Amino acid sequence: MSADDSVCVKALVSGQVQGVGYRWSTEQRALAAGLTGHAFNLPDGRVEVLLCGAPRAVKEVVQWLHQGPEHAHVSDVAVRDLVPPTWPQAFRTG
């Protein structure tokens, strides 16, 4: 899939989303959907998620972000479209 066929979104996820497996679970969902991007903890307690790939797959993972893994308590997911300067080739956590 080329960047021309792909979309990219950045999501900022708030709530109890650090220390509960949120980034790992997001990575597993993204990889299963064939997406690239990242999931990073932010100093303010949120998780930043970048998802790039097929529009339908991105939409499905974004919907899952609102729930997250079993021990997460998501209070808000702010999503915006993004055109990254370079498209990620893999999915990573940090």
List, by residue number, the catalytic residues: 23, 41
How many Cβ atoms from other residues are within 10 Å of residue 24's Cβ? 12
- Chain-centroid distance, C-alpha 6: 15
The whole-angstrom separation of Cα 67 and Cα 75 is: 9
